[in-house]
Structure 1
């Protein structure tokens, strides 16, 4: 679990490289599957197209997560060109990168004022919400609510932030949207103009369920605990979810060694499992089946932050 003392936290687990070819190969597979599936969508029955689209967009979200952490290349612009195509349409890659790197300040994990990926709210935030907003947030406390309502909720909140940034002329928020508009235009040009897939169909079979799949991963990654090292989970999952999430279900490992590339995480986890469980206070979930049995319709924890 150690790293060179001269390394920054973001370099923990990072190996010397210029191009990480396994991640390049993964990107080729994802985009090939996307192009083929959208091009031949009319020949694929809806009950098969839906899970295919969800998996493609979901794993592409995991690819974007790897790009945020410096893979497949050492050059951020190259990673943007490789992974920055928002197949889920709603979130600019640059915004995700900024927010996710802020999330990796572990001392701030779960703090609704400082952790942009926190599932909690403060009492003041709760008091400012209308009745409808409160109902949505409470419903999203369960796995089913997050899966069904999460994509539209986070998209709406994202566009509200965009509108406010336009009024304030906030370049920090607005700049990522320049690439995002170009990327989305390219995606929809292919989907609608070349593949002749209606926009609603792409949203229904690809963008929306793909975002839902990504939100399953973030549902139980963190909980509040006095010791910030105890706030990140381990979910010991089977091959499907592990590969879909590129082994970020081993989440405490990712927070302790954020520079460790996805395909090295399983071996690293096997080597250090007991140390990791000691580090995170035994926050262990035995797979997404257990998570669904316990929290499909039941909130995982209170919405108000305990501290």
Structure 2
């Protein structure tokens, strides 16, 4: 588990400058982090005096927004130091994925030249016939259901949690320190979170999962549902989704995903203005892969699959 800044994560500075500026904070991102934690603490503290629907709304959006913030931490916000970002952002409020593993896989997602490749891209939702043949009947049914947005939202958090548990078992029995240490941080932070939630605020574990972690992850999966598509040209694989104020802020404007892949070091709060400058160029380069908002995605794909389950250009590993 590295504790240094990672130039592969699209740094804002060149290598010579990183050391000098590792502890300089990006103030808007740091203020956002403080706001997210404040809402989380207030919501959990007042759990018993709030109606369930208010807890659900605040809990789900706070967890999702914190997940969006973790994505920004991969790209060196608020700090150039990975160690500082871990201490400030790397708390798994949604419980299921270790922060350091997310940093590793998402960095690889940007470095690999095979975006959406089922073998090389850790964030790909496609399968190959080879992978399909190795799955059980139940596993196949779940993956088929997750091709729709409704299936992804309802089954996705549980599916990825089970996958994380399996990965945890493999890593902890590997005797490989680099594979074990991310789980040490993860379990330590989750223990502190659950002590606050269950011990101090007296929230049952099932209620935290049902009102915070699970729906928060479901919201995050709305963003990633249509984020990428299989296409021959790398630049045409990432979407532009012109979200409104709520969805845009919830996802920290990563809905402008072609822009993010073109300029991964660009701060989240600069994306809307930069998009307005480059809109024509981005849409020309990404082959017009565009949606006018998440409402359009929901209407089109809530119960209808958007993509084939098999990657159209990748047949075997």
User: Which band: TM-score by shorter chain?
Assistant: over 0.9
Equivalents in 2 of 1:70, 1:96: separation in Å?
A: 14
| Match of residue 84 from structure 2 | 78
| Match of residue 183 from structure 1 | 189
| Match of residue 299 from structure 1 | 305
Aligned: 1:163 with 2:169 = yes
Aligned: 1:287 with 2:293 = yes
SS of aligned partner of 1:70: coil
Per the TM alignment, residue 118 of structure 1 is displaced from its structure 2 partner at its CA by 0.1
* Equivalent in 267, 276, 291 of residue 270 of structure 1: 276
Gaps of 5+ in 1: 1-6
| Match of residue 257 from structure 2 | 251
Aligned positions of 1:35-114 closer than 5 A: 35-105=41-111, 107-114=113-120
Q: Deviations over 1:8-66 (max 9, x none)?
A: 88247999962100001000100000000000011111112111100000000011011
Equivalents in 2 of 1:12, 1:185: separation in Å?
A: 33
Equivalents in 2 of 1:73, 1:131: separation in Å?
A: 45
Equivalents in 1 of 2:8, 2:125: separation in Å?
A: 27
Aligned: 1:143 with 2:149 = yes
Equivalents in 2 of 1:52, 1:99: separation in Å?
A: 28
Contact 1:61–1:214, Cα closer than 8 Å, also in 2: yes
TM-score (norm. length: structure 2)? 0.92
Contact 2:8–2:107, Cα closer than 8 Å, also in 1: no
| Match of residue 154 from structure 1 | 160
Contact 1:106–1:228, Cα closer than 8 Å, also in 2: no
* Equivalent in 231, 234, 243 of residue 237 of structure 2: 231
SS of aligned partner of 1:121: coil
Aligned: 1:220 with 2:221 = no
Per the TM alignment, residue 167 of structure 1 is displaced from its structure 2 partner at its CA by 2.9
Contact 1:106–1:229, Cα closer than 8 Å, also in 2: no
| Match of residue 27 from structure 1 | 33
Contact 1:13–1:259, Cα closer than 8 Å, also in 2: no
Contact 2:243–2:294, Cα closer than 8 Å, also in 1: yes
TM-score (norm. length: structure 1)? 0.95
* Alpha-carbon distance change, 245 to 126 in structure 1, aligned in 2, over 3 angstroms: same
* Alpha-carbon distance change, 266 to 175 in structure 1, aligned in 2, over 3 angstroms: same
Contact 2:227–2:255, Cα closer than 8 Å, also in 1: yes
* Equivalent in 131, 134, 138 of residue 137 of structure 2: 131
Superposed structure 1 runs of 4+ greater than 6 Å apart: 12-17
* Alpha-carbon distance change, 173 to 184 in structure 1, aligned in 2, over 3 angstroms: same
Per the TM alignment, residue 169 of structure 1 is displaced from its structure 2 partner at its CA by 2.5
The CA RMSD measured in Å over matched residues stands at: 1.7
The aligned length equals 301
Equivalents in 2 of 1:300, 1:193: separation in Å?
A: 43
Determine which structure has greater relative contact order: mean sequence separation of CA pairs < 8 Å that are 6+ residues apart, divided by chain length: 1
SS of aligned partner of 1:87: coil
Gaps of 5+ in 2: 1-6
